[in-house]
Amino acid sequence: MTDIFSGPAYEPQPKTRPQPSRKKKGWIIALVAAGAVVLLVAGGAGVYAWTLSSTFDNKTEKIADAFPKDDAARPPVLEGVASKAQNILLLGSDTRGSIGTSLAEAGGARTDTIMVAHIPADRKNIYVMSIMRDSWLEIPGHGKAKVNAAMAFGGVPLAVETIESLLGARIDHVAIVDFTGFKGVTNALGGVDVDNQVAFNSSHMKGHYFAQGPNHLNGTEALAFVRERYGFRDGDFQRARNQQAFIKAVLKTTLSAETLTDPGKISGLVGAVAPFLAVDEGLNSAYVAGLGVEMRDVRVGNVTFFTMPTKGTGTEGGQSVVNIDWDKLALVQKAFQTDTLDLYQPEVQTIG
């Protein structure tokens, strides 16, 4: 797997900082990405099709009217061979407990994880771009705000419209994930082995120390690992790198022969993810299975993670924001618009 997140190592802060008021945030990126790939892998294995169909279709919520109503105002559909490329918007939400049982009706809540998974027309790779939740941009019809406010202002359709405006590229499918399924995914794999770049004392598991180097994590430990930001000089940026490291570990285990040839493990993985997903009506088992067959040769080394270009942090109206590097973003936009992300050379993002 392409690794652009080695970055400079930062020493953990010696002082203990207050824990965030909004709990269980930010780490949902791991479940979204891992869950999506697990489902693709399972879909590509015909022997497991019955599991995917019955569990995925019956247990996932469906997002009605997930896309902007004015289709003519959306970015154009790619033409020619590139028209087969797919962009899947992955949103993390921690709202089910506060709004009731519906994850699909998460309007009014800010998304804390935003990713776009690009699957090229040739189906040889997967590119997953993280968008920092505090990125400052124009929310259509609402003026300047943090990108994660789009869901609060107008639900899933506005979130889609905002990301489409940002990239100048059409979103084909949407998935929202609730954090509750995280532990089940990790534990269903028997834990994962993460290569930790920066040692730190956990602020979420008091007394637990994550040493530099290999760490075998169970669900509880993995949750603490990917949530941590207060132990690092560049906070959310290092947390994003840790989340990427965790996802790589999950994918390595998921795509191993041991997992792929174990019907019980695949069933457990899909069962752990499906009840905590809300998807657009077109993102069903038939779509996932078909895509999985087309991507049956994709392995860990074919998956590239990167973060949208930024110019570090700043302030707007008294609130901390992440500044987008619009000049470098133009290269990303062109890559999405022409299905040429294989030519894009991402850089490590930090506070600047």
Q: Could you tell me what percentage of the chain is helix, strand and coil, using 3-state DSSP and rounding each to the nearest 5?
A: 45, 20, 35
The answer, yes or no, to whether residue 324 has pLDDT greater than 90, is yes
For the chain, which domains are there?
28-338 (3.40.630.190)
Beta strands in the chain (DSSP E): 61-63, 86-93, 113-119, 126-131, 136-139, 143-146, 173-178, 192-196, 200-201, 209-210, 213-217, 277-280, 303-307, 310-316, 319-324
The answer, yes or no, to whether residue 291 has pLDDT greater than 90, is no
Res. 66 pLDDT band, cuts 50 70 90? very high
Q: What is the pLDDT of residue 211?
A: 97
Q: What is the pLDDT of residue 328?
A: 97
46-60 pLDDT per residue, tens: 444 555 577 778 888
Q: Looking at residue 12, what DSSP letter applies?
A: P
Report the range out of 11-15, 108-112, 238-242 with the highest average pLDDT: 238-242
Q: What is the pLDDT of residue 96?
A: 46
Mean pLDDT over 66-92 rounds to 92
The answer, yes or no, to whether residue 344 has pLDDT greater than 90, is yes
Higher pLDDT, 52 or 267: 267
138-184 pLDDT per residue, tens: 999 999 999 999 998 999 999 999 999 999 999 999 988 776 666 77
How far, CA to CA in Å, does 274 sit from each of 108, 126, 179, 249?
Answer: 23, 21, 12, 20
Q: What is the pLDDT of residue 227?
A: 81
